[in-house]
Amino acid sequence: MPTPAEEVKTRLDIVDVISEYVRLKASGINHKGLCPFHSEKTPSFMVSKDKQIWHCFGCSEGGDVISFIQKIEGMEFPEALRMLAERAGVTLRRVNPQEISQRQKLLEITNLASRYWHKLLLDHPAAEPVRKYLKSRHVDQAMIEEFQLGWAPDAWENLLKFLNDRKFKTEDIFLAGLLVKKDRGTGFYDRFRDRLMFPIHDAHNRVIGFGGRTMKSQEEGAKYINTPQSFVYDKSSVLYNLHRAKTAAKEAKQIVLVEGYMDVIAAWQAGTKNVVSVSGTALTPDQIKLIKRFTNTAVLAFDTDAAGQTAARRGIDLALSADLSLKVIFLPSGKDPDDLIQTDKSAWLKAVAEAGTIMDYYFEQVRSTYDLNEVDGKKSAAKILLSVIAKLPDKVEQAHWLQQLATLLNVPESFLYESLPRPKNNNYSPPSSVSSAEPKDSLAAKKTNKASSSDTLGAAERLVALALNNPETIITLQKKLPVELITDEILKNLYKQLNIYYTKQSKLPQATGEGALSAAASFNYDEFVAGLGDSERLLAGKLSLLAVRDYAELDKASILEEVNLLLSHQRRNYLLGQLQILATSFKQAEAAQDKQKLSLLSKEFNKVTKELSGIE
């Protein structure tokens, strides 16, 4: 009977799961993308649909679908398994409440609070003013239910008592950000009172926090308040509505960014399904990472007031540095997206469709801000626009906008080019296309466009990699690659297990001839790795992906040629290592004046040297 983890992995496709975090592109039989665990510009992160594993050749991280969720979500194994089990429809055993992690407790609290407040908004007589307010904002019943909007009553301990009655501890409710400590004495009270509630979800549709809009006059408190930082909610790492918008963002190949909750609901109701909100803050680095999981283009629709423009500029600078492509929606003066949609939905949809480039935005800003007939105005405009043009990664694009700027300011283009800020590359060092550990004459080494700068795999690793993906090579390896030639213990164990597997498959004392060919033909990767230890299983996954990356295009004759080259290189490395050991032994024997040992060492040294000279 399979374990829960095995059942979960069987039901899920690792490519589908990882695609929610990394934009993957098909690469032969595998998929590749930019690694989410380290900064890189050339994809070195690979996912195998066939073997249901992933590995990054840049940072050497790798594993299965559960280990991926553990790492990217910062979860322990039980929590990652529970999350994936829900997705896969696998029922896990019921656990004692004491076994549930703190994070899971808080998620249960926020989920129940969301359902409770939603029920109150729908049915409670005292929520009638809130329902009327939503109607006045053109939020219909379908949107109330779609976004699970709620109402927190105007009471000090309403939610606290509700959750306490359901056996949730006051301290846990406080840690979820739903309570405030009393200034005097002991005790807590509800953070949200008489507010329209907007549940905030993570990318996996789990309620992690709330935004609350007051139903009182603004003089009585802040118009909007949010859940504070908690174990499950970090405002800088969340985009409101991403869990709904991510699929549409992938399909549209862009995501629309607005400022407020009501902007999102209005845009969604108008038909813009790829819309999210930054919840009134400037775009953050973590939010940019979230966006890049699903698309590489963001369309900014920030408010036209001063705060909105400042937020837009800060977000633009961060996005450019993160290589996120940007467009900007030009809203009428004094309008936010919600305002525009309520007065003219078609104008909103047209504005989204005709969103200008980021440079269009900056040019429009300087035109409306500075007097370009004056020298000071030209200087200010040039300073702003040149700093942005310098950040553009494409030289042709830079040249185009320099021409536009020269025309706008009526100054020589050559002057602007000389004034263009130059990027600092003091820390740059060109990557090596081929690892020094790899034989320079190998076929993989000749494919310099495929080798990673951090790929330090030697000949032994590549030989085992080839055996994993090209089982027919095991016949040659069993004859020419003794286990003793491999020094790394994990690799040695993996190679031993591979030999044992083939021996069992061929049903012969030693896998040679037709028996080995039959074993190769019936090689089952999943069956093989199921019997490995954790370290060997991870290494097998890494090497299997490496073989696909570097050798997938080779025919059988070329693979055999590569095996022979690597065998020679591995033998050479082994003999060079033996010479180093012998040299050390010579010194020790000379110091001890052991003539008999010196004679034996001399013979062995000559033997190794002769064999080394015979290797091409």
Which helix (H) or strand (E) segment holds residue 511: the answer is none
Cβ–Cβ < 8 Å for 370, 401: no
Q: Specify which residues 255 forms β-bridges with.
A: 298
Question: Three-state DSSP class for 256?
Answer: strand
The whole-number pLDDT of residue 515 equals: 46
Euclidean distance between CA atoms 50 and 52, whole angstroms: 6
Residue 105, Ramachandran bin (φ over 0: left; ψ between -120 and 50: alpha; else beta): alpha
How many CB atoms within 10 Å of residue 458?
A: 20
Two tokens, residue 259 = 């400022």
Where in the chain are the domains?
4-88, 98-233, 237-361, 370-419, 443-591
The whole-number pLDDT of residue 429 equals: 32
CATH superfamily of 4-88: Zinc finger, CHC2-typedomain (3.90.580.10)
Closest CA to 8 of 69, 130, 91, 127: 91
The whole-number pLDDT of residue 294 equals: 85
Euclidean distance between CA atoms 506 and 500, whole angstroms: 10
* CATH number of this structure's domain 98-233: 3.90.980.10
Residue 206, C-beta contacts closer than 8 angstroms, at least 6 positions apart: 107, 110, 111, 232
The whole-number pLDDT of residue 432 equals: 30
Does the structural domain 237-361 have CATH classification 3.40.1360.10? yes
The whole-number pLDDT of residue 442 equals: 56
Under-70 pLDDT residues of the chain: 1-2, 94-100, 218-220, 280-281, 303-314, 423-457, 505-522, 616
The whole-number pLDDT of residue 568 equals: 86
Euclidean distance between CA atoms 293 and 287, whole angstroms: 10
Closest CA to 210 of 296, 116, 348: 116
The whole-number pLDDT of residue 428 equals: 30
Euclidean distance between CA atoms 56 and 219, whole angstroms: 54
Buried/exposed code over 299-319 (b: 16+ C-beta within 10 A; e: otherwise): bbbbbeeeebeebbbebbebb
Q: Specify which residues 195 forms β-bridges with.
A: 152, 214
Q: What is the full DSSP assignment across 16-35?
A: HHHTTTS--EEETTEEEE--
Two tokens, residue 164 = 């306490």
The whole-number pLDDT of residue 423 equals: 58
The whole-number pLDDT of residue 160 equals: 98
Cβ–Cβ < 8 Å for 367, 409: no
Cβ–Cβ < 8 Å for 524, 471: no
* CATH number of this structure's domain 370-419: 1.20.50
